[in-house]
């Protein structure tokens, strides 16, 4: 803790504190998932909660994502406020039937008679040598689905502040937590900030090029923006943070100011969230552009295990710098 009403806080601890506060504030809230109890969570996010709240409210589940996500939906229909943790985004595909065909649709199919106040927390992304079955970035798939709100907190403050409004939402909310962010520490206010779960955030103002990203790619984009500044290029950094519904207005206003855009997305290029953002810019801000929209995505291979190959497959700050400089200087990006 430091003077001025701030303190250093780690991302995983911020998530833990947010869950603890929710559990204390509302007896309907409970956490369920694989190893969230006595073990403290695969990424230690729920460490200590089992000892404080007991097995009724911190529930270890069998290894069946389809079953325990379905149980979470049922609990939400029954008036509870479940937080469901899925161990990794790849495993969420085992629960896709429940998420798409039940959680996302029941309110619509019932004419609004049923609410599904369910929060699903999902670690995502690569960079920790966990191999292909644990390292992909599939949040763009879920951002495709009407009926869901999809969040990707990239800062400690957002990790701390997004859970409460997510639990208050009558519709299902998916929170994607990039695995490389769990160890990140940042200075945050002593009192948790109220976080907007509807809007993107401008993390750095600029006039020359818009760098648009989210989640685990934000740190490397901010690093790239700092390097671009040493070359006299003023990059604006947009953190989408809400992947569905997209805050199109903030993105378009930024592009209108800078006249250039680079979208950085750890997902694969084909059919990606970056493709959707690029299309919206071209549809709504084409005549404000001085250069074609560029995208930097993961190489279209299963994420490699070997460290050097994994690093080569994921977006890198150096690539963001190269592409942004080419746009601003009017050079061919591949030149």
Distance CA 148, CA 144 (A): 9
Cβ neighbours of 109 (radius 10 Å): 13
pLDDT tens for 258-282 read 999 999 999 999 999 999 999 999 9
**Angstrom distances, CA of residue 27 to CA of 6, 21, 23, 79:** 29, 11, 6, 11
pLDDT tens for 315-330 read 999 999 999 999 999 9
- pLDDT given for residue 334 in this prediction: 79
Q: What is the 3-state secondary structure (H, E, C) of the chain?
A: CECCCEEEEEHHHHHHHHHHHHHHHCCCEEEEECCCCCCCCCCCCCCCHHHHHCCCCEEECCCCHHHHHHHHHHHHHCCCEEEEECCCHHHHHHHHHHHHHHHCCHHHHCCCCCCCCCEEEEEECCCCCCCHHHCCCCHHHHCCCCCCEEECCCCHHHHHHCHHHHHHCCCCEEEEEEHHHCCCEEEEECCCCCCCCCCCEEEECCCCEEEEECHHHHHHHHHHHHHHHHCCCCEEEEECCEEECCCHHHHHHHHHHHCCEEEEEEEECCCCHHHHHHHHHHHHHHHHCCCCCEEEEECCCCCCCCHHHHHHHCCCHHHHHHHHHHHHHCCCCCC
Distance CA 224, CA 320 (A): 6
Instruction: Please indicate, yes or no, whether residues 183 and 212 belong to a single structural domain of this protein.
Output: no
Distance CA 314, CA 34 (A): 28
Residue 195 lies in a domain: no
pTM over 0.85: yes
The enclosing domain of 243 has a CATH number of 3.40.50.920
Q: Is the predicted pLDDT of residue 198 greater than 70, yes or no?
A: yes
- pLDDT given for residue 250 in this prediction: 98
Percent of the chain with pLDDT over 90: 95
Supply the mean pLDDT for the chain. 96
- pLDDT given for residue 229 in this prediction: 98
Distance CA 83, CA 120 (A): 6
Domain count, the chain: 2
Distance CA 204, CA 216 (A): 16
Instruction: Please indicate, yes or no, whether residues 53 and 185 belong to a single structural domain of this protein.
Output: yes
Instruction: Please indicate, yes or no, whether residues 181 and 64 belong to a single structural domain of this protein.
Output: yes
Distance CA 320, CA 284 (A): 24
The enclosing domain of 32 has a CATH number of 3.40.50.970
**9, β-bridge pairs:** 186
pLDDT tens for 201-217 read 999 999 999 999 999 99
Instruction: Please indicate, yes or no, whether residues 34 and 175 belong to a single structural domain of this protein.
Output: yes
Q: Is the predicted pLDDT of residue 287 greater than 80, yes or no?
A: yes
Contact 147, 281 (CB under 8 A): no
- pLDDT given for residue 1 in this prediction: 47
Residue 223 lies in a domain: yes
CA dihedral sign, ordered 184, 188, 194, 195: negative
Domain boundary among 138, 164, 189: 189
Residue 322 lies in a domain: yes
| Token couple for 111 | 């004419």
- pLDDT given for residue 192 in this prediction: 84
Instruction: Please indicate, yes or no, whether residues 175 and 273 belong to a single structural domain of this protein.
Output: no
Contact 105, 131 (CB under 8 A): no
Domain boundary among 136, 164, 189: 189
Confidence of residue 4 (pLDDT cuts 50, 70, 90): low
- pLDDT given for residue 3 in this prediction: 52
142 preceded by a cis bond (ω within 30 of 0): no
Residue 335 lies in a domain: no
Q: Is the predicted pLDDT of residue 301 greater than 60, yes or no?
A: yes
Spot the catalytic one: 34, 85, 134, 177: 134
pLDDT tens for 22-35 read 999 999 999 999 99
Confidence of residue 233 (pLDDT cuts 50, 70, 90): very high
Instruction: Please indicate, yes or no, whether residues 23 and 154 belong to a single structural domain of this protein.
Output: yes
Instruction: Please indicate, yes or no, whether residues 22 and 109 belong to a single structural domain of this protein.
Output: yes
- Considering only residues 33 and 193, tell me which one the structure prediction assigns the higher pLDDT: 33
Residue 92 lies in a domain: yes
- pLDDT given for residue 193 in this prediction: 83
Instruction: Please indicate, yes or no, whether residues 205 and 135 belong to a single structural domain of this protein.
Output: no
Q: What is the domain extent for residue 279?
A: 201-329
**Angstrom distances, CA of residue 233 to CA of 12, 321, 328:** 34, 10, 8
Instruction: Please indicate, yes or no, whether residues 58 and 185 belong to a single structural domain of this protein.
Output: yes
Instruction: Please indicate, yes or no, whether residues 164 and 122 belong to a single structural domain of this protein.
Output: yes
Domain boundary among 189, 216, 240: 189
Instruction: Please indicate, yes or no, whether residues 133 and 16 belong to a single structural domain of this protein.
Output: yes
In the predicted model, what is the mean pLDDT of residues 122-141? 94
Spot the catalytic one: 27, 51, 52, 65: 65
Is there a catalytic annotation at residue 136? no
Residue 334 lies in a domain: no
Residue 196 lies in a domain: no
Residue 251 lies in a domain: yes
Cβ neighbours of 335 (radius 10 Å): 5
Instruction: Please indicate, yes or no, whether residues 183 and 67 belong to a single structural domain of this protein.
Output: yes
pLDDT tens for 34-90 read 999 999 999 999 999 999 999 999 999 999 999 999 999 999 999 999 999 999 999
């Amino acid at each position: 803790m430091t003077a001025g009403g701030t303190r250093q806080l780690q991302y995983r601890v911020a998530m833990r504190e947010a869950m603890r506060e929710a559990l204390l504030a509302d007896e309907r809230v409970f956490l369920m998932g694989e190893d969230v109890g006595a073990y403290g969570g695969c990424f230690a996010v729920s460490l200590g909660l089992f000892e404080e709240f007991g097995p009724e409210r911190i529930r270890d589940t069998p290894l069946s994502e389809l079953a325990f996500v379905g149980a979470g939906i049922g609990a939400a229909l029954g008036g509870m406020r479940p937080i469901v943790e899925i161990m990794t985004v790849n495993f969420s595909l085992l629960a896709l039937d429940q998420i798409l065909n039940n959680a996302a649709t029941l309110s619509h199919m019932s004419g609004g008679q049923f609410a599904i106040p369910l929060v699903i927390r999902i670690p995502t992304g690569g960079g920790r040598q966990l191999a292909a079955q644990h390292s992909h970035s599939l949040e763009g798939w879920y951002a495709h689905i009407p009926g869901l709100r999809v969040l990707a907190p990239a800062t400690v403050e957002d990790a701390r502040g997004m859970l409460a409004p997510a639990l208050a939402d009558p519709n299902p909310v998916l929170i994607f937590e990039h695995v490389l962010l769990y160890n990140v520490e940042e200075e945050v206010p002593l009192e948790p900030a109220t976080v907007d779960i509807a809007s993107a955030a401008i993390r750095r103002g600029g006039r020359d090029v818009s760098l648009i990203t989210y989640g685990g790619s934000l740190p490397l984009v901010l690093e790239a923006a700092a390097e671009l500044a040493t070359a006299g290029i003023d990059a604006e950094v947009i953190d989408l943070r809400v992947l569905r519904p997209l805050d199109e207005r903030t993105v378009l206003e930024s592009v209108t100011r800078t006249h250039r855009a680079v979208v950085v997305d750890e997902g694969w290029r084909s059919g990606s969230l970056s493709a959707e953002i690029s299309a919206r810019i071209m549809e709504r801000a084409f005549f404000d552009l001085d250069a074609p929209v560029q995208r930097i995505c993961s190489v279209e291979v299963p994420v490699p295990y070997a460290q050097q190959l994994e690093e080569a497959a994921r977006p890198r700050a150096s690539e963001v710098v190269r592409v942004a400089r080419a746009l601003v200087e009017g050079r061919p990006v591949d030149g």
